[in-house]
Structure 1
Amino acid sequence: MQTKEWSYKTTAFSEGNNPKEYERLMLLEKFMLEVWIQKCLAPNQTINYNYQSPSSYGLKHRFESSKYGFYITNGQFKGAMLAADFKPKDSRQLNWTFKLSKRAGTQAIAN
């Protein structure tokens, strides 16, 4: 049991998936990512499963393909969401799911 738990944590927070990776971004990159989150994502009381990819991995790709987006890791996106006061449903998962409004999904696709 101990080995399974250890490997799960190692996988979930391996390089590129650890939210602490957010600190490696340059100040301008953090700013651009934070502005995108504030502009495109809105919190909700529950997870909107009608919204395509409410996970950190799906959202990071939406950011990357946005007008001013750039490559970031899943962990960097998770760290940015924490900095923006979004809490994941289960932080033990590899890809975190967030409570986002339906409007947020439309905006994230458009920008």
Structure 2
Amino acid sequence: MIHRPSVPYKERRIISAAIKKVKQDGRFDKSDSQLCRVICVACNPEWQTLEELERRVQISFRTRDSQTAISARLREVSPIRHGVMKQSTKVKNETTGRFTWFYRVIPPVCGEGGQ
């Protein structure tokens, strides 16, 4: 069983407030851009897998972006160009020994040098 990385309450509050400001600025309202769709669904204090992001894009925008495409767009996210940064972390499944990667996109003031 995979355990999702936890987000402490204080961190969640800080990130949520910063995300609200970024979204109010209307920077990622263009659903016709794959990068904007990915940033929009990944901009969240919670850690998410590529599969979860793929599902959220499909539900939110009624279009299908593959996990490969989502991963590529996440690599393009830049604090300088987009005002947000990608963070990633991995969790080891103790049963299988395999790692599951989790991602989130947050404003840079909330992160400490994301990957």
TM range (shorter): 0.3 to 0.5
> TM-score, with normalisation over the residues of structure 1?
0.40
Indicate the structure whose relative CO is greater, using CA pairs within 8 Å and at least 6 residues apart: 1
- Structure whose residues are more often helix by fraction: 1
